[in-house]
Structure 1
Amino acid sequence: MTALEFNYTLKEMSGSLKPFALKLTRDMEDANDLIQETMLKAFKNREKFAPGTNIKAWLYTIMKNTFITNYQRMVRRNTFIDTTDNLHYINSSGSSVQNDAYSSFTMEDIEQALNNVDDVYKSPFMMYFRGFKYHEIADKLQIPIGTVKNRIHIARKELKAKLTPYAHSF
């Protein structure tokens, strides 16, 4: 596609972008600015357009990404910082208060899973968890170090299987 054809296609597509821009911005002036910025980016990056592909979809993607970038910039700009001794971020989600109910349920599930692990595996696992070294566990339980490692591995595997709902939480 020649530069002239590309420019003509961009001009033809600008009208079809307006409803999408209005949907994103909910304001006519902001929509016009978004369309203009999208067209400018498309024109500057015309060599990245693959001829034979859907130019409308390409323009929609540019517009959506431009809108997201502008929105994130606006949010960062509107975050106020209190310069008192406490240095609180007023608009930050980090200042929200967490409910301990979730962690309480999680701990109950972990304790229940631990209680269901056979003592042969749980004992070396708990010692390792408390900071004992493999050789210290082996000496204390009077078993070979390889057996200690194997039992800790089995305990971990059992706990992992019993706590699968929390696999992506930690």
Structure 2
Amino acid sequence: MTTLEFSYSLNKASGSLKPFAMRLTRDADDANDLLQDTILKAFSNKEKFAEGTNLKAWLYTIMRNTFITNYQRAVRRGTFVDTTDNLHYINSGGQAIENGAFGAFALTDIQVAIDKLDDVYKTPFQMFFRGFKYHEIADELRIPIGTVKNRIHIARKLLKDALEVYMHKN
């Protein structure tokens, strides 16, 4: 495939990449940056593309891997991005005071919600929370692993419903 053909195919396929970038980043500017990085990497590595294979799949893979790499790099760096309109957090000078009472109320409410669960759901959930693996819980409780996963899932759903007051809505 010539450079011109590759460029044409890349340009044609890039239209379907923008919605995927938006789903990954949830921000228009970041999505545009991710799309640009993806196209640049694809063009720089065009010799690695096997002609006759799915170009879109190759581009989606590049985009996903680029997003993951960038995310991991940001986490390692401990980067804080202030998204407030007036850059409130950057200008706050690090003088933040936290109210520990809110955390104490939340912990109390969480424990109450867990205590209200039926033992069938509470026991596997607490074991999983303490670090037991699914198969260890299944062996200990003498139930199938699928049942363990189902009960933990139900416990999480019940707790989510019971603690809905703590859900942050944007």
Q: Which has the larger radius of gyration?
A: 1
TM-score, with structure 1 as normaliser: 0.47
User: Normalising to structure 2: TM-score of the pair?
Assistant: 0.47
Q: Which structure is higher in RCO with an 8 Å CA cutoff and minimum separation 6?
A: 2
